[in-house]
A and B are shown apart, each in its own frame.
Chain A
Amino acid sequence: MSAAIEFSGVQKWFGPNHVLADIDLSIATGEVVVVIGPSGSGKSTLLRCINGLEAVQQGTVVVDGRRLTAQGGELAAIRREVGMVFQAFHLYPHKTALENITLAPITVKRIPREQAETEARALLERVGLPEKAGAYPAQLSGGQQQRVAIARALAMQPKVLLFDEPTSALDPEMIKEVLDVMKALAHTGITMIVVTHEMGFAREVGDRVVFMDGGRIVEQASPEVFFSAPSNPRAQLFLSKILRSEGALS
């Protein structure tokens, strides 16, 4: 498998904070990578470097064979191959679900409106919301908004999908509907990088778990290995805390 995403010697600072330190990471095409770690460990920043929402200060990020130092038009071209789903959805509130999905295909790819709408309806079907095409974001629940946001990210037919804590802003009963959509996607062969606290998801569909702490990748392993016998002490501590709280819930 060829590398879809390649981080080499990446360093990034926010002021005095070293938010990404010595990041080397290679993600294969079709791989599902789950990034976990305490808050402030650099997970989201790592994700945002993949589509250029954040710029790295040292090292290189290569996406689909193209280096992400590009400006303007070329950066936009890379972003077309990389969809992103945000924690807070960020649907366009002045547009319907259907318009949210068709906006980029129509304005960027110049796809005729009718074709774009047909494709958008198919995507809404796929995320289980065929009846919500005409609804505005404010009329949708959090889980429904996030599923529309996933459909929007898919509309550009990206090679890579980034998920930035996609269920963290959701009520517990809505988390499952979003995770189910994501699980179905994981089996389609699209490359996915998922920042999440959902350990069940990581275990079930992740090909690899990347554990970050203090801006560094401190452990990478398959979910089976990581969850049963993490070798790094910080990963052990993190897991014991998070699994204990999950146990307390169930």
Chain B
Amino acid sequence: MDWSVLGENAGLLAQGLLVTLEVSVSALILALALGVAVATLRVAPSQPLRAIAAAYVEFLRNIPLLVQLFFLFFALPSAGIRLPAFVCGVLALGVYTSAFVAEAIRSGISAVPRGQLEAGLSSGMRYATVMRTIVLPQAVAKTIPPLGNTALNLIKNSSLVSTISVLDILGTANLIGARSFQYVPMFVGAAICYLILTLPAAFAVNRLEKRYAR
């Protein structure tokens, strides 16, 4: 085992780390935007809208992410749609994760007791004002733990983009390992790179959770 391979390729691994970060952050933004929209539909007064949103969530979260990723990268080109690997990765990760974001937010909203809405309405506030000042702030607090988990899973799930030729952390480590036959140092290095991203994220989530725990 030759650990010097790690030092020699530290720059490439760091580049891979940046790619993982880019994929994760882009996908997270997409997942949050779609997730909030879908969660809003899931508590909408209209039954058809709720059904569509429920179907969206169940469909996406019950098909393996790798299948969705391969569909975008390998199957869509035969329909004439050819997207760069990075874009496929962000799309698949973001859309898949949005189902979990939507569930987290929906359960946060429904975890706020109905009496809160009634108390607000009784004092003469409009529905939208009650939502904004009373229900959603409490829902956010209840949503932080599951959303934090979802974000951490997203970072780890992003390693799947290495299967469609994106040189993220895992893709880079795998490539150098194959060239040098030094798989052990390279995968240990990859693991450390992921921890560099996930541990601070986990720490931040814990801090937020404590701040909002009331």
In the complex the two chains form, is B134's CB within 8 Å of A108's CB?
no
Which B residues are CB-close (under 8 A) to A76?
A: 121, 124-126
Task: Decide if A227 is an interface residue (CB 8 Å cutoff).
Answer: no
Alpha-carbon distance A117/B129, docked complex (angstroms)? 20
In the complex the two chains form, is B214's CB within 8 Å of A104's CB?
no
B113-141 CB mask vs A (1 if < 8 Å, else 0) is 10110111111111101000110011001
In the complex the two chains form, is B113's CB within 8 Å of A104's CB?
no
The bracket for how many chain B residues form the interface is 20 to 34
Give which listed residue, A93, A136, A152, contacts B138 with CB less than 8 A: A93
Task: Decide if A53 is an interface residue (CB 8 Å cutoff).
Answer: yes
> Which residues of B in the span 78-124 have a Cβ within 8 Å of any Cβ on A?
113, 115-116, 118-124
Task: Decide if A83 is an interface residue (CB 8 Å cutoff).
Answer: yes
Q: How many chain A residues have a CB neighbour from B under 8 Å? A: 28
In the complex the two chains form, is A156's CB within 8 Å of B214's CB?
no
Which B residues are CB-close (under 8 A) to A79?
A: 121-124
- Select the residue from B121, B124, B134 with max chain A CB neighbours within 10 A: B124
In the complex the two chains form, is B133's CB within 8 Å of A93's CB?
no
In the complex the two chains form, is A73's CB within 8 Å of B125's CB?
no
In the complex the two chains form, is A104's CB within 8 Å of B124's CB?
yes
A88-100 CB mask vs B (1 if < 8 Å, else 0) is 1011111000000
Alpha-carbon distance A104/B119, docked complex (angstroms)? 10
CB distance from B25 to the nearest CB of A (A): 29
Which B residues are CB-close (under 8 A) to A233?
A: none
Give the residue name and chain of the A residue nearest to B124 (CB). A80
In the complex the two chains form, is A108's CB within 8 Å of B123's CB?
yes
Give which listed residue, B118, B122, B214, contacts A93 with CB less than 8 A: B214
Alpha-carbon distance A108/B214, docked complex (angstroms)? 26
In the complex the two chains form, is A86's CB within 8 Å of B214's CB?
no
Which B residues are CB-close (under 8 A) to A77?
A: 124
Alpha-carbon distance A72/B130, docked complex (angstroms)? 13
Task: Decide if A84 is an interface residue (CB 8 Å cutoff).
Answer: yes
In the complex the two chains form, is B124's CB within 8 Å of A103's CB?
no
Give which listed residue, A53, A92, A107, contacts B121 with CB less than 8 A: A53
Given A93-B138, A153-B123, A156-B124 in contact, is the A107-B133 Cβ separation under 8 Å?
yes
- Select the residue from B113, B115, B127 with max chain A CB neighbours within 10 A: B115
A69-81 CB mask vs B (1 if < 8 Å, else 0) is 0001100110110
- Select the residue from B121, B122, B126 with max chain A CB neighbours within 10 A: B122
Which A residues are CB-close (under 8 A) to B134?
A: 92, 103
Given A90-B113, A94-B141, A94-B214 in contact, is the A156-B118 Cβ separation under 8 Å?
no
Task: Decide if A51 is an interface residue (CB 8 Å cutoff).
Answer: yes
Task: Decide if A186 is an interface residue (CB 8 Å cutoff).
Answer: no
CB distance from A157 to the nearest CB of B (A): 11
In the complex the two chains form, is A83's CB within 8 Å of B214's CB?
no
Task: Decide if A138 is an interface residue (CB 8 Å cutoff).
Answer: yes
- Interface residues of chain B, those whose CB is within 8 Å of chain A, are 113, 115-116, 118-127, 129, 133-134, 137-138, 141, 214
